[in-house]
């Protein structure tokens, strides 16, 4: 067994349900299961050669973090996320990771720092092997070590939950050309700041590391023919980014919306 399935098992998905969850995540990330698609249990069981019990456990796990939705009449459906919502989630993820980095730079023990360096070397190995799936799993471990290094259990729980919610999209962005080597280079700077105790620099580097993912998501969507409406997603996300910078999507200066105007537009 090779490819994503093999990587899923190696990543620690050592239960049958965990293995299936990883495969469904991969299928969502690559556009095989696009947003809005109904996940038929009979089809999934045959596709992944599993019984209904681990399959349903996997679906419940995915539903618990919002990657899919389970409803009485439609069953399991891949969650539809707008470009604007996705951009906002990455913004929040960037802030949570920045907070984790700021605290970890002050609180990580020597042993925790050594484990982080080992994780960095594992990421380097995956980068040299040009294996984005393997890098994805090593990258997960790298970030979770930083969450734990914050020594703030509530923050760790919140960061881990949003990390899981964004996992299909974090996996997707690693498929953008040259993203893996750039990601690893950013990891090196993050580790250097953490080990030297530069808390604000660590926070800034981690925040930028995550925000880059959100800003590049439009290019990633357009590059994957398996996901629907790629051009529409790219235009919508470009508009969202431009709005946040106080500029129009065509590049000309625009007025920033006041908080009250933004709230009124969101409320209809």
* CATH code of domain 83-219: 1.20.120.530
Residue whose token pair is 């698609």: 37
The domains of the chain are located at 4-78, 83-219
| Dihedral over alpha carbons 177, 32, 24, 51 (to 10 degrees) | -150
Sheet holding 68-71, edge to edge: 38-39, 75-78, 68-71
The predicted pLDDT at position 213 comes to: 53
**Nearest by Cα to 59 from 34, 32, 41, 33:** 41
Q: What is the pLDDT of residues 31-80, one digit of tens each?
A: 788 888 999 999 999 999 999 999 999 999 999 888 899 988 778 999 88
Q: What is the pLDDT of residue 183?
A: 94
Which residues in the chain come in under a pLDDT of 50? 1-12, 224-227, 229-241, 243-245, 247-268
* pLDDT value of residue 218: 59
Give the architecture-level CATH label for domain 4-78: Orthogonal Bundle (1.10)
- The whole-number pLDDT of residue 147 equals 98
Beta carbons of 102 and 200 less than 8 angstroms apart: yes
Q: pLDDT tens digits for 5-27?
A: 444 444 445 588 988 998 998 88
Burial label for 253, CB within 10 Å (0-12, 13-18, 19+), is exposed
Residue 27 confidence (pLDDT):
85
Neighbours of 133 (CB within 10 A): 23
């Amino acid at each position: 067994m090779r490819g994503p399935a093999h990587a899923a098992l190696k990543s620690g998905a050592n239960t049958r349900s965990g293995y299936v969850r990883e495969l469904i995540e991969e299928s969502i990330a690559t556009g095989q299961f696009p947003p809005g698609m109904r996940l038929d249990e009979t089809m999934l069981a045959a596709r992944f050669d599993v019984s209904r019990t681990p399959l349903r456990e996997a679906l419940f796990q995915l539903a618990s973090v919002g990657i899919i939705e389970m409803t009485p009449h439609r069953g399991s459906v891949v969650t539809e996320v707008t470009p604007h919502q996705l951009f906002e989630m990455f913004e929040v993820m960037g802030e949570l990771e920045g907070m984790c980095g700021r605290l970890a730079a002050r609180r990580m023990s020597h042993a925790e720092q050594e484990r982080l360096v080992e994780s960095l070397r594992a990421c380097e190995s995956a980068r040299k092997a040009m294996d984005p799936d393997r890098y994805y799993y090593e990258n997960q471990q790298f970030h979770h070590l930083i969450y734990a290094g914050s020594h703030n259990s509530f923050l760790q729980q919140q960061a881990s939950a949003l990390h899981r919610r964004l996992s299909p999209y974090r996996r997707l962005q690693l498929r953008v050309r040259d993203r893996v080597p750039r990601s690893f280079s950013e990891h090196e700077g993050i580790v250097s700041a953490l080990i030297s105790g530069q808390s604000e620099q660590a926070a800034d580097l981690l925040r930028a590391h995550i925000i880059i993912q959100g800003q590049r998501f439009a290019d990633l969507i357009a590059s994957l023919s398996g996901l629907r409406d790629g051009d529409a997603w790219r235009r919508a996300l470009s508009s969202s980014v431009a709005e946040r910078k106080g500029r129009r999507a065509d590049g000309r200066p625009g007025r920033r919306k006041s908080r009250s105007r933004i709230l009124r537009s969101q409320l209809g």
